[in-house]
Structure 1
Amino acid sequence: MKAISGEIQIKDAKINIYEYNTIIIGSGAASLNAADTLHKLGQRDISLITEGMNKGTSRNTGSDKQTYYKQSTTIKDEDSPIKMAKTLYNGGAMHGDIALVEAVLSLKSFYNLIHIGVPFPHDEYGQYVGYKTDHDENSRASSVGPLTSKYMTEKLEEQVKKNGTDIFDKFLVIGILKDFTKNESVGVLTIDIKNINDSDYGLTLFSCRNIIYGTGGPASTYYRSVYPKSQSGATGIALEAGVKAHNLTEWQYGIASTKFRWNLSGTYQQVIPRYVSTDNDMNDEREFLEDYFDNPSDLLNAVFLKGYQWPFDARKLANNGSSMIDLLIYIETQIKGRRVFLDFRNNPTCADLNGAFQFDLLGKEAYDYLFNSNALLRTPIERLKKMNPLAIKLYKDHNIDLEKEFLEIDVCAQHQNGGLVGDVWWQSNLKHFFPVGEVNGTLGVYRPGGTALNSTQVGSYRAAEFVSKVYTQNPIDINQFTEKVKTQVEKKIDFIKMIKIDKNQKSNLMEFQTKLQKEMSKNASFIREISGIRKSMDYFNKTFHSLADLIHIKELKELPVVFRIYDMLITQISILSSIEEYIEYGGDSRGSYLVHNEHGDYEIDYQGVNLKYSLDNTIEDKVCETQIKEENSSIEVTQMWTTVRAIPEYDTWFENIWREYRKNNIYNGGINNETN
């Protein structure tokens, strides 16, 4: 571990300073790959900062068969980088140059994971065979099972530790520090969680030339969420530093278990379990889907299709579409206040005959799938055992036995497609600051399943390559650093001093956070309406303005939670502002959400719920960019619409490319268009 470079006094706090060329923030698949790639490319003056090596989404989430999406490598698919790029670009609100990079480098990144030991399956001829995922015309998907991203993270961590990279574990980043005159990042302010005290609050400074920011999605935004409870995200402090974001409106929402947070896509649905709702005490059990669907075949086929069509999609509501199931769950849990469960022990009553499933009620697609999987078996649990026994083991490992008990579910936020802006090298508008992984909003409205994992590897590789070739200088002198960041650090210390500490009273942080999360789930999740958005925005802005007065803690060790809430609030306000802008711009339902509009072309009127919506104006040829500045303890949010950049068409003559590569001219493009 590198020694402390110095110590500075800011107000009454003595704060240690560490210096590195590059710091990588986060411990997920993106951050670890960035650290490993930098080491391989020769940049060793690096460190990795994380609030917990085992806390991130990459290590703690998955699905029935977690997908990694890349260019197809099998003989049955005619594929190419440009074909894959078009698939990504055609999803809407995604820049074509980013789509091209993610396609071109998908195989390089995929094979790197194989090289370090991630066991993606191949056949006897060496083909890494794939399968189709949602919004995918080729069989580009691969998987290691439910825990693909966990395997990736563990293998990448092995590499980073083998490299001897400095790791600062249990350090929470609470501020991105910048040189305002040059609009570039120069370091970060952190809390050393293990050493919080009354004199310096555990504050530690890192001065650096570059920041690779892999903090994951804003996981604490919603109450109904499939993100691991251990993750919070840190989008807010990047926004606070002036980093632009885009597509903050775009999330994926879908059915997930709530006791153990996990996506219920793929075979969890294709085995066609029974859906039931109960009151809060698990009495009054009802198969509520039967109240809506007119015949058993429509109900069963809709459940089956949730496996392929897991995210909620307003386009899949009409004509008994699969997304009606998400909406019916929403009515049960959020309108009626009931609880909803999956039952894998029993078939839906409408398809059960003496304990056996009536397969003749299925449509051709569902029947053929189960037939080809040799899964025409009596009950859902038997079918699941046949097709995906690891899906059962996963829950058993978390003390939930699908063979003996119900599985409680809801419609949850799972992934943000939008996020911080980066150019083709993943550098943001703030120079030397590179958001990678889910915190970077590379993905558009509709994306094939598994593209997120590809993006973690491609983006982190690109950032590391640029840093190693261009931004190789040492950090600025400590005296200069102190001069540039002093006011920014003082502001954080002043905030800390404003927080009320009462050792005789229980902290209200958890209740306070939960209230904010529930407000987001109520008004800004997959059902959206402009009056609710405005109401929430007003509430959140007032809350942020009075934050220090509204919260109190029992002891100083709760300081990290305070800053997680601070970050969450900034993010929530920015998301609400983006949603308001989209609806005011005339945006209709798209992606994974429904915009209620009294003049909508379609209507759902069911059990006291009336929703009208349209699907025409989805504005997929533009991207809404968001930027904030903090003024007098409130947040001013600005929005700007930009036209999506097309997939590049350029000269690929080898000799010309070779010349530009030798001269390092390939690094001159991007948002900043500078190589200082």
Structure 2
Amino acid sequence: MIQIDNKIKFQTEYRECNTLVVGSGSAAYNAADWLYTLGQHDIQIVTEGQKMGTSRNTGSDKQTYYKLSLADDEPDSVYAMAKTLFSGGSVDGDTALVEAANSIKSFMKLVNLGVPFPKDQYGQYVGYRTDHDETQRATSCGPLTSKLMTEKLESSVFGRKNIKFMDHVRIVKILVDEEINSIFGAIGIKQVENVVTWVQFNCTNIIYATGGPSGLYRRSVYPVTQTGAHGPAFLAGVHGKNLTEWQYGIASTEFRWNLSGSYQQVIPKYYSVDKDGNDKREFLMDYFSTGKDMLNAIFLKGYQWPFDPRKIDTNGSSIIDIAIYVEEILKKRKVFIDYRENSRYAIKDNSFQFTFLNNTAFEYLENSNALQDTPIERLKSMNYPAYELYASHGIDLEKMPLNISICAQHNNGGLEANNWWESNIKHFFPVGEVCGNFGVYRPGGSALNANQVGSLRAAEYINSHYCVAPILKENFLFKIKSDMDELENFCDEILKSEGSMNVKRYRENFQKRFDECGAYIRDIRSMKKTYLRIENDIKKFTHENRIDKFTDLKQAFISFDLLISELVYLKAFIDYAEDGGKSRGSYLIKEEQMNFDQVKRYGIKAKLDNGKRDNLIQITSFKDGKVYSDFRERHTLPHTKSWFEEIYNNYRNGSSH
């Protein structure tokens, strides 16, 4: 062990503001931007890393933004869109209506900031159909839509407004006055070499835009730089909502990216090799009745990218995910997608046979001018930016295949919030993916709309109701004394620990453990065993782990945060299943009799929820080291009958704010 505890220097820094915005993605910047526009200028943005996070570093073949239709003669309405969001299951109706009603306001703000969403010569913002939706509400400005959103919002925040900003700070403690059930600040850790600064934020409100809990899983398409920060919220008493609901899908692993849309619709070749790189074989035909069925299922993966247990019957598109599970997890083989060659089951007379495709697949490729002979030629013709994206990261799809896996991609659950995005703890507003308002099945792109609408609503509510100064400095410093003692004791113990495992290597172990029991194939017995292990790991964390260099101290806080989050999430998974919940969304609850190797004739016969629990929302809480779940009825979808004069007067007197 390296003795470094006597070399680390600790200091404190005090900051105060009306609203602390945590994060530097599109939701965080939008919240700060709206607050300033609405008149609340006493804002502090704090982030672990300005260039980190999902908004700036992820996307798909054409990353989707979902909003009300703005082109052609397709009928649409706020209520119709809200109904679609509500129909996804376990969604509060009032939240769905808010997201629909504010979608155009949020979308047009991005347009006005310069996000290049495409429009035709008449000014119509055209759309297309996305998953879990029958309309053409979806739009995109390419594979990096959320990155462009983040950059334009960032320019607005820093280019035109004097908003305070602090980088390289991770929030490790959210401060709550339990007597009034309200936050009053936060504590962050900033480390520069051997100097650790406790940054003490005295604030009236916190807008929490820290993204999904990506560090729970090792097989993840989230950027490596993002781990999530749910732990401090759970420790502060913020409730979880629908934590069971995730999206998992096929992604490349060396460069983390979703392989949806065009990447599947050009029908690449799938193959696997053994651990030594030998025994190359096209394994998908082990799971499909005919080559034609396999090819059409690959095409459908473009639309039906997330794993879906409803699509694992004979020849369903999610059989591909099951096949990858068998190859990678059960047989310990490596799986690849190759755009250089066609599957041998698509070849006749030395060329790709488009006649093997059904009408939907063929017409799509024909309309997209993608009837070339190889997958890479089809991809470059259909969606050249999708090819360029990999090239920009040193991966030429004309020369090399992609190592793939089924990865965690988005958490539809998260922290609980109402239709103003305020949590069960007053003055604490989770926005973006950290907020659990998405339900079971959401239309593709609705997450980007929700992060813009949620951050707008939080800003509006704060501006209307919570524009008061934070508590006096001397009162604040007195109230946080025990919190500071707790943080310093944690540091003292981990610095003196002679544990056998470095905190970062230890994290890889428990991430792998979570993969094995709590990803898209969930085993109840395994989850229960893992839950007990996590409980024990939390109790012994500072004694069984160690740090080997200065920066490991911050990593210790991250690993502990993730362990708390894993405990809460896994207990929610277990409680859902024990309450009678069945497979739904993007996960399959494994039954003992399932044989994943024998799916060619009959598929997988899972016990599906089939919407039986759509009206229930799971609320999970963490208190005194224990996790508790409850289920409540979701809020119904309001069916308003608007009368202008009544709404006008309500708006004027502030009752609708």
Q: What TM-score range do you get, normalising by the shorter chain? A: over 0.9
Q: Which residue of 2 aligns with 1:78?
A: 75
Deviation at 1:484, TM superposition (A): 2.2
Task: Describe the superposition over 1:182-220 as per-residue Cα deviations: whole angstroms up to 9, x where unpaired.
Answer: 1101111011233652xxx31110100110000000010
Tell me, in whole angstroms, the C-alpha distance in 2 between the residues paired with 1:606 and 1:67. Answer: 33
Deviations 1:382-409 (A, max 9, x none): 1001000111110011111100001110
Counterpart CA distance in 2 for 1:196 and 1:134 is 49
Residue 524 of structure 2 corresponds to residue 530 of structure 1:
yes
Structure 1 SS opposite 2:244: coil
Which residue, out of 568, 583, 592, partners 1:589? 583
User: Partners of 1:626 and 1:641 in 2: how far apart?
Assistant: 9
Report the alpha carbon displacement of residue 281 of structure 1 after superposing the two structures with TM. Answer: 2.8
In 1, Cα distance between equivalents of 2:86 and 2:47: 33
Percentage of pairs with the same residue: 48
Match of 1:29? 26
Corresponding position of 2:642: 652
Rounded to whole Å, the distance in 2 between the matches of 1:269 and 1:376 is: 14
- Report Cα offsets for 1:219-268 as digits up to 9, x if no partner: 10101100000001101110110001110000000000000000000000
Q: Which moved more, 1:332-341 or 1:14-23?
A: 14-23
Alpha-carbon distance between aligned partners in 2 of 1:654 and 1:599, rounded to the nearest angstrom: 59
One-letter amino acid of the structure 2 residue matched with residue 660 of structure 1: N
**Structure 1 residues 569-592: Cα deviation after superposition (integer angstroms, max 9, x where no partner):** 111111110110110011111000
Q: Distance in 2 between matches of 1:557 and 1:520?
A: 25
Task: Give the 5 Å matches for 1:494-643.
Answer: 494-500=489-495, 508-598=502-592, 605-606=598-599, 613-616=606-609, 618-629=612-623, 631=624, 635-643=625-633
- Residue 311 of structure 1 aligns to a residue in which SS? coil
The farther-off stretch of 610-619 and 448-457 is 610-619
Asked if 1:159 is matched to 2:156, the reply is yes
Letter in 2 for 1:184: S
Maintained 8 Å contact 1:196/1:202: no
State the SS of the aligned residue for 1:299.
Answer: helix
Q: Which runs of 5+ in 1 are unaligned?
A: 1-11, 668-676
Distance 1:444 1:400 in 2: 35
Q: 1:6 corresponds to which residue?
A: none
Q: Are the equivalent residues in 1 in contact too, given 2:497–2:542 (CA < 8 A)? A: no
Amino acid corresponding to residue 552 of structure 1 in structure 2 = R
Q: 1:469 to 1:616 in 2, by over 3 A?
A: closer
Amino acid at match of 2:38: L
Deviates more, 1:71-80 or 1:139-148: 71-80
Contact 1:19/1:207, CA 8 A, preserved across alignment: yes
Residue 5 of structure 1 corresponds to which residue in structure 2?
none
Deviations 1:344-370 (A, max 9, x none): 000000112354211111111111111
Structure 1 residue 189 and structure 2 residue 187: aligned? yes
Q: Is the 8 A contact 1:255 1:263 kept in 2?
A: yes
Aligned residue in 2 for 1:381? 376
Structure 2 partner of 1:41:
38
| Structure 2 equivalent of residue 296 of structure 1 | 291
In 1, Cα distance between equivalents of 2:170 and 2:471: 23
Please say which of residues 355-364 and 210-219 is displaced more in the overlay: 355-364
Distance in 2, matches of 1:105 and 1:83, equals 14
Closer, same or farther: CA 48–482 of 1 in aligned 2, 3 Å: same
Cα distance between partner residues in 1 of 2:527 and 2:389? 37
- For the 8 Å contact 2:292–2:356, the answer to whether it is kept is yes
Give the aligned partner of residue 424 of structure 2: 429
8 Å CA contact 1:355, 1:378 repeated in 2: no
Q: Which residue is equivalent to 1:180?
A: 178
Residues 625 and 641, structure 1, Cα contact 8 Å, conserved in 2: yes
- Structure 1 window deviating more from structure 2 (446-455 vs 610-619): it is 610-619
- Is 1:490 the counterpart of 2:479? The answer is no
Name the CA distance, whole Å, in 2 between partners of 1:399 and 1:32. Answer: 30
Which residue of the partner structure matches residue 59 of structure 1?
56
Structure-2 separation of matches of 1:189 and 1:218: 20
Alpha-carbon distance in 2 for matches of 1:339, 1:501: 41
Alpha-carbon distance between aligned partners in 2 of 1:650 and 1:364, rounded to the nearest angstrom:
42
Q: What does residue 670 of structure 1 align with?
A: none
Task: Provide the residue aligned with 1:671 in structure 2.
Answer: none
Change (3 A) 1:349 1:501: farther
Equivalent-residue separation in structure 2 for 1:298 and 1:46 (angstroms): 56
1:102 deviation in Å? 0.4
**Equivalent residue, structure 1, for 2:108:** 111
1:488 deviates by: 1.8
Quote the offset at 1:598 in angstroms. Answer: 4.3
Distance, in Å, in 2 between the alignment partners of 1:573 and 1:480 is: 34
Identify unmatched segments of 5+ residues in structure 2. 1-8
| CA positional deviation for 1:557 | 2.4
Distance 1:501 1:555 in 2: 13
The whole-number CA distance in structure 2 between the counterparts of 1:96 and 1:514 is 39
- 2:128 is the counterpart of 1:121: no
Deviation at 1:475, TM superposition (A): 0.3
CA-CA distance at 1:330 after TM superposition: 0.8
The CA deviation string for residues 653-674 of structure 1, in whole angstroms up to 9 with x for no partner, is: 222222222222224xxxxxxx
* 1:446 aligned residue: 441
Residues 245 and 627, structure 1, Cα contact 8 Å, conserved in 2: yes
Answer yes or no: is the 8 Å Cα contact 2:504–2:552 preserved in 1: no
Letter in 1 for 2:78: P
Task: Tell me, in whole angstroms, the C-alpha distance in 2 between the residues paired with 1:233 and 1:188.
Answer: 16
How big is the shift at 1:372? 1.2
Determine the C-alpha separation between the residues in 2 that align with 1:586 and 1:109: 39
Aligned-pair distance for 1:76? Answer: 2.9
C-alpha deviation, 1:42, in angstroms: 1.1
Q: 1:481 offset after TM fit, Å?
A: 1.1
Residue in structure 2 matched with residue 280 of structure 1 by the alignment: 275
Q: Is the 8 A contact 1:18 1:206 kept in 2?
A: yes
Q: Kindly indicate whether the alpha-carbon contact (under 8 Å) linking 2:242 and 2:414 is maintained by their aligned counterparts in 1.
A: yes
TM-score (norm 1): 0.93
Secondary structure (helix, strand or coil) at the match of 2:620 reads strand
Aligned length: 646
Provide the TM-score with structure 2 as the length reference.
Answer: 0.96
Alignment counterpart, residue 367 of structure 2, candidates 364, 372, 395: 372
Q: For residues 522 and 167 of structure 1, what CA distance do their matches in structure 2 show?
A: 39
Tell me the residue number matched to 1:396: 391
Partner of 1:324: 319
Task: Write the mapping of 1:662-673 to structure 2, written as runs, cut at 5 A.
Answer: 662-667=652-657
Corresponding residue number in structure 2 for 1:207: 202
- Within 2, Cα distance between the matches of 1:177 and 1:603? 47
- Is 2:12–2:199's contact at 8 Å kept on the other side of the alignment? yes
Pairwise CA distance, 1:114: 0.3
Q: 1:501 Cα shift? A: 5.1
3-state secondary structure, aligned to 2:424: coil
* Partner amino acid, structure 2, of 1:558: D
SS at match of 2:224: coil
Instruction: Report the aligned-residue RMSD.
Output: 1.9
* Cα separation, 2, equivalents of 1:164 and 1:32: 13
Given residue 165 of structure 2, which amino acid in structure 1 is its aligned partner?
I
Aligned partner of residue 598 in structure 2, secondary structure = strand
Instruction: Note closer, same or farther for the CA distance 1:612–1:532 as it changes in structure 2 (3 Å cut).
Output: farther
Residue identity opposite 2:42 in structure 1:
D
Describe the SS at the equivalent of 2:271: strand
User: Which residue number corresponds to residue 144 of structure 1?
Assistant: 141
Aligned to 2:4: none
Structure 2 match to 1:7: none
Contact 1:603 1:612 (C-alpha < 8 Å) held by counterparts: no
Kindly provide the CA deviation profile for residues 517-562 of structure 1, in whole angstroms up to 9, marking residues without a partner as x.
0011100001112101101101111111111012100133222111
- 1:68 is matched with which residue? 65
Matching residue of 2:222 = 227
Cα contact 2:10–2:197 (8 A) shared by 1: no
